[in-house]
A and B are shown apart, each in its own frame.
Chain A
Amino acid sequence: MDKAAIVGVAQIKYERRKKDQIFADMVFDVTREALDDAGLTIHDVDNVVTVSNDFFDGRTISGMAVGDACGGQDKNISTVSGDGTFGAFYGLMRVLSGYKATIVVAHYKGSEGDINITTNGMFDPVFHRHLGIDAVSSAALQANAYMTRYGIREEDIAQVSVKNHGNAKNNPFAQLPMDITVNDVMKSRKIAEPLKLLDCCPISDGAAAVIIAGEDIAAKCRKKPVWVRGVAHCCEEYFLGDRDLSNPVALREAATRAYAMAGIRNPIEDIDVAEVLEPFSYMEPLWLEGLGFCEPGAGCSLITKGITVMGGKLPVNPSGGALSANPVLVAGLARLIEAALQVRGEAGARQVKNADTALAQGFNGPCGQSHCVWIISGTK
């Protein structure tokens, strides 16, 4: 693969309700900031990808509605819905196919819509939608399948919430920095068993942007380029009942391909820090299993043994992850940005020492139907 790098990033603080900014305001801010971060102007960018979703935005052809705000006039705009990691993947492909620089912008306002009704809409309208299943209840089914299969206790997954809300205290963009205990998680309100309130992400508003460029532009940018070493995505079956929800096969496949591209042989040795998309606490250990950091069923032991905490061998979600802010369409892009900040050494109080190779993972579809895995590094 030709070389391409992340050369500019921007996020705004994630909040329960951004009452002073509409979609376009948020997008305009992160576009300008990402350009400043890269040391580029809008004229250096020749391709735009928006991460918009008609159902979430409440308008059709939603990508076009933020085109003006991200410098899309006179350029080529594509929209890739999802969590932002897939949009960034497409942005990378545009660069690899000859564009000079792509800006990928994502925006989301959970405060303006209804997450349950909107995510009910991702299920089959004939066989499943009338059952009222949504992102939360389907995740709870997956949690139950996973935890039953391996005998994982609710206290085990609660540790993830404790760790990530704690990490969020070091992240100025996080919505819910909190000092909590396993007991607090256990005592929180039941949402969909085994998930309780503190096992679930908050509703969030926010936006983020990433600029990806080829070698020529990267050499001219203000900041140290963060090179894309490997990236892949993979999808599995649509109907929940057709899948083994306790075995994230699509993630395993995406990771295998991304590792092969990046020359990663032993992920836990070769990767310094990971940002994974865990809007529900059980997802972090399950995804870490799919990413090959441990054997199937052993995901929770990574946290118990201190491997994934700050200061551990492989800190996971120094940012606080999606449990601490989940602007859905932005949440995967935020993982990629956080991973890039780690590689640059610009992650402030949440910086992992000497991080050079970082992993970012995102997903789309119920219970992680499709996963996207990025390996990025300061080393070309």
Chain B
Amino acid sequence: MTEWLKSVEPLTLKGQIAVPYTWWVGETGGRFMAALRDHRKILGTKCSSCKTVYVPARKSCGRCFIDMEEWVDIADEGVIQAYTIVHYGHPVQPAKPPFAYALIRLDGADVGFLHVIKKDLDRIKNGLRVKAKFRAERTGTILDIDSFELM
């Protein structure tokens, strides 16, 4: 480095890229989100070939490379498969740290469902059962489920 640069603060330029997007949730995603919003229900789809039940619902099974047409009701409770308690914050997080992320195997599904746990962090363990807490005001997003709570 040029010697004199060490002793000065170089000129910098602040910038921010804020680009608006309007994500099309999709036919399958739309039905999943509408069920969360209107009925507090979690829906999955089942592959007719490998029988895997996916949640959130997907239109196709990547493993078998075929469309899925069978809809399945998934329970709003299940078991913690993996978790982490987060101690740092950033503006996109839906809660103030500390809070937890968990992969939850909901009853009736064959894959983990990613969401957050905000309470009882000192008691969290893999294998414990949790239940979805829905928001009163729901708008058709994954945050219509506020969080999962230990049962």
The interface of chain A, by Cβ under 8 A from chain B, is 19-20, 58, 114, 116-117, 120, 125-134, 136-138, 140-145, 148, 189-195, 237-242, 245
What separation, in Å, do the CA atoms of A142 and B82 have in the docked complex? 8
Within 8 A of A (CB), among B1-33: 1-2, 5, 10, 15, 17, 21, 23, 25-26, 29, 33
The reply on B49 being an interface residue by CB < 8 A is no
Instruction: Identify which of residues 95-151 in chain B touch chain A, using a CB-to-CB cut-off of 8 Å.
Output: 101-103, 111-116, 126, 141-143
* Distance between Cα atoms of A128 and B114 in the complex (Å): 7
Contact A237 B62 (CB under 8 A): yes
List residues 45-103 of chain B with CB under 8 A from any CB of chain A.
54-56, 62-63, 81-88, 90-94, 101-103
Q: B50 CB to closest chain A CB, in angstroms?
A: 12
Residues of A contacting B116 in the complex (Cβ-Cβ under 8 angstroms): 131
- For A143, the chain B residues whose CB sits under 8 A away are 84
Query: Looking at chain B's contact residues, is the secondary structure mostly helix, strand, loop, or mixed?
Result: loop
What residues on B are CB-neighbors of A19 within 8 Å?
Answer: 1, 5, 10
Measured CB to CB, the closest approach of chain A to B110, in angstroms, equals: 9
A145 touches B81 (CB 8 A): yes
How near does chain B come to A18, taking the closest CB pair, in angstroms? Answer: 8
Please give me the 6 A-B residue pairs with the lowest Cβ-Cβ distance, nearest first.
A241-B112, A132-B93, A140-B84, A145-B82, A116-B90, A132-B92
Most buried by B among A116, A189, A190, A241: A241
- A130 adjacent to B92 (CB under 8 Å): yes
- Name A130's contact: one of B54, B84, B94 (CB within 8 Å): B94
Q: Given A144-B126, A192-B86, do A240 and B112 touch, yes or no (CB 8 Å)?
A: yes
Give the A-B contact count at a CB cut-off of 8 A: 115
Q: Which residue of B lies closest to A112 (CB)?
A: B12
Cβ–Cβ contact B85 & A192, under 8 A: yes
A190, B101: Cα distance in complex, Å: 15
Looking across the interface, which residue of chain B has its beta carbon closest to that of A142?
A: B82
| Known A19-B5, A192-B86: A130·B143 in contact at CB below 8 Å | yes
Report the Cα distance A116→B23, complex, angstroms.
21
Q: Is the CB of B90 within 8 A of A144?
A: no
Q: Out of B25, B114, B141, which one reaches A241, CB within 8 Å? A: B114
**Shortest Cβ distance from A350 into chain B, in angstroms?**
24
Q: How far is the CB of B34 from chain A (nearest CB, A)?
A: 13
User: In the assembled complex, which residues on chain A have CB atoms less than 8 Å from the CB atom of B63?
Assistant: 237
Q: Closest CB-CB distance, A12 to chain B, in whole Å?
A: 11
Contact B85 A193 (CB under 8 A): yes
Most chain A beta-carbon contacts within 10 A, residue among B26, B54, B63, B103: B103
Nearest A residue (CB) for B95: A132
Most buried by A among B2, B62, B143: B62
Complex Cα spacing A127 to B42, Å: 12
The residue on A at minimum CB distance from B92 is: A132
- CA–CA, A132 and B142, complex, Å: 11
The answer to whether B86 and A241 have CB atoms under 8 Å apart is no
Chain B residue numbers with a CB within 8 Å of A241 are: 55, 103, 111-114
Please name 11 pairs of A and B residues whose Cβ atoms are closer than 8 Å in the assembled complex, sorted by A. A116-B90, A131-B116, A131-B143, A137-B101, A138-B101, A143-B84, A192-B86, A238-B62, A239-B114, A240-B114, A242-B54
Q: Which residues of B contact A194 (CB under 8 A)?
A: 84
Residues in A with CB closer than 8 Å to B83 are: 141, 144
**Do the beta carbons of A126 and B114 come within 8 Å of each other?**
no
Query: Cβ of B112: which chain A residues have Cβ within 8 Å of it?
Result: 240-242
Q: Which among B62, B87, B142 is the interface contact of A131 at CB below 8 angstroms?
A: B142
* Min CB gap B137→A, angstroms: 15
Chain B residue with Cβ nearest A123: B114
The distance from the CB of B72 to the nearest CB of chain A, in whole angstroms, is 15
CA distance A320 to B113 in the complex (A): 35
Contacts of A138 in B (CB 8 A): 101
Nearest B residue to A195, CB-CB: B84
Query: Which residues of the partner chain A approach B101 to less than 8 Å between Cβ atoms?
Result: 131, 133, 137-138, 140-141
